Amino acid sequence: MRAIVFDEPGDESVLYTGEVESPAMGPNDIRIRMRATSVNRADLLQRQGMYPSPPGASPLIGLEAAGEIIEMGNEVTGWKTGDRVMAILPGGGYGEEVVCDAGSALPVPDIYSDEEAGSTCEVFLTAFLNIFMLGDIPEGGRVLVHGGGSGVGTAAISLGKEAGLTTLITAGSEEKCQRCIDHGADVAINYNDGDFSEKVKEATDGKGVHVVLDCIGGRYLEQNCKSLTADGALVIIGLQGGSKGEINLARMLTKRLKVVGSTMRARPAGKKAMMVKAFMDQFGDALKAGRIRPVIQDIFPIDRVGDGHRAMKEGKHFGKLALRAWE
Ligand SMILES: NC(=O)c1ccc[n+]([C@@H]2O[C@H](COP(=O)([O-])OP(=O)(O)OC[C@H]3O[C@@H](n4cnc5c(N)ncnc54)[C@H](OP(=O)(O)O)[C@@H]3O)[C@@H](O)[C@H]2O)c1
């Protein structure tokens, strides 16, 4: 089958369409003819040789895919060949055929295009897992999302709106702040305007937020903890601002704070299946009705995947960069 591959780690130009073996099936797996996938930030790291697939997963890049089922393992129930599905993957999304545990797949809403379906799972499930499951946000709670204009950020804004949360975001320009507000955020903070924790305090009448969804790490540790209300949770999903920081344990103790580290990719299939079910229980109706839908900045034919990676590196996008499969 065709797949996007690279021989040596490097910049965007190392990626090309090559021929690889089709992935093997297990009894609980489905095989998907991939119609669309998308660029996620981790893909750039994998291409640079810094974030290989976890053991047992496809070595190909690609954390999600959408298409139709073309084969099913003999223990799979609830799906049939021809069903349109979108799936969260530990790797392999940049291949013409994708094999995954059936529990990692969701039905594609009728009104979604293939590109929308291929841009949904990684960001919506990441936002869901970390705000609702690990962050355990209370009903009507307040969440601070760093990088509101990212794929994950725009998904978090949509889920927050649907669930009746108050969503605060940070972004690096006035334009992105405004786009986040237009998309449904309640408060937007330009992270270049100084200490964001002060602005969080102002915007929440001094109370702070219940959950911080953080893709920055070390550099924001102190401000994130300051931004939390009592019993709040800081959920760290990225380390764009470094992996080390200092934490005030007295604040942690007195406010009973939790700091949680989280990666989607290496979560076992069984845990992903539980997460997918919980997501569908809470947001399945909204998904079906199109009230939650990915924001797509651009669609690239997968042969031009390097352009998609470059666009993510440049960081001007709002939402997702989708990849359309080969004809
Ligand atoms: N752990 C997990 O399971 C998991 C899963 C998926 C994604 N992630 C992480 O989540 C993040 C978003 O992923 P993505 O694929 O959606 O990438 P993306 O669209 O490229 O987003 C990167 C975001 O980081 C923001 N950012 C950069 N510097 C910042 C700063 N100093 N303060 C606040 N925000 C800042 C950018 O905001 P501006 O453009 O406004 O500067 C941009 O919105 C990445 O760090 C990714 O690694 C983690």
Q: How many domains does the chain contain in total? A: 2
Q: What's the 31 CA to ligand 1 centre distance in angstroms?
A: 30
Give the DSSP letter string of 139-178. TT-EEEEESTTSHHHHHHHHHHHHHT-EEEEEESSHHHHH
Residue 59 in contact with ligand 1 by CB distance below 6 A:
no
pLDDT for the residue 183? 98
| pLDDT, tens digit (0-9, with 9 covering 90-100), for 189-211 | 999 999 999 999 999 999 999 99
Q: What domain range is 155 assigned to?
A: 123-261
270 shares its domain with 247? no
pLDDT for the residue 180? 98
| pLDDT, tens digit (0-9, with 9 covering 90-100), for 15-34 | 999 999 999 999 999 999 99
177 shares its domain with 251? yes
Average pLDDT of the chain to the nearest whole number: 98
Amino acid at 219: R
Ligand 1 mutation target, pool 38, 39, 41, most atoms within 8 A of CB: 41
Q: What's the 174 CA to ligand 1 centre distance in angstroms?
A: 17
Q: What's the 317 CA to ligand 1 centre distance in angstroms?
A: 11
**Quick one: which of 239, 242, 236 has its CA closest to 258?**
236
177 shares its domain with 295? no
Share of the chain above pLDDT 90, in %: 100
130 shares its domain with 104? no
**Stretch 142-171: mean pLDDT, rounded?**
98
Q: What's the 214 CA to ligand 1 centre distance in angstroms?
A: 8
130 shares its domain with 253? yes
Please give the torsion angle defined by the CA atoms of residues 192, 155, 162 and 113, in that order, rounded to the nearest 10 degrees: 140
**Stretch 163-181: mean pLDDT, rounded?**
98
253 shares its domain with 299? no
Residue 134 in contact with ligand 1 by CB distance below 6 A:
no
**Banded pLDDT at 222 (limits 50, 70, 90):** very high
pLDDT for the residue 280? 98
**Banded pLDDT at 12 (limits 50, 70, 90):** very high
pLDDT for the residue 291? 95
Q: In what order do the strands lie in the sheet with 209-214?
A: 187-190, 166-171, 142-146, 209-214, 228-236, 258-261
**Stretch 270-284: mean pLDDT, rounded?**
98
Assign residue 135 the CATH number of its domain. Answer: 3.40.50.720
Q: What's the 204 CA to ligand 1 centre distance in angstroms?
A: 24
128 shares its domain with 109? no
Cβ(29)–Cβ(76) below 8 Å: yes
129 shares its domain with 247? yes
Residue nearest to atom 34 of ligand 1 (CA): 147
Residue 171 in contact with ligand 1 by CB distance below 6 A:
yes
Assign residue 90 the CATH number of its domain. Answer: 3.90.180.10
Residue 321 in contact with ligand 1 by CB distance below 6 A:
no
81 shares its domain with 28? yes
173 shares its domain with 218? yes
157 shares its domain with 250? yes
pLDDT for the residue 161? 98
53 shares its domain with 156? no
**Stretch 116-144: mean pLDDT, rounded?**
98
**Stretch 244-248: mean pLDDT, rounded?**
95
Domain boundary among 261, 277, 293: 261
pLDDT for the residue 27? 98
pLDDT for the residue 120? 98
pLDDT for the residue 205? 98
**Stretch 239-253: mean pLDDT, rounded?**
96
Q: What's the 67 CA to ligand 1 centre distance in angstroms?
A: 26
Q: How many residues does the chain have?
A: 327
Residue nearest to atom 39 of ligand 1 (CA): 315
Instruction: Give the nearest ligand 1 atom to 238 CA.
Output: 45
pLDDT for the residue 260? 98
Share of the chain above pLDDT 70, in %: 100
**Stretch 86-106: mean pLDDT, rounded?**
98
pLDDT for the residue 159? 98
The three-class DSSP label of residue 46 is helix
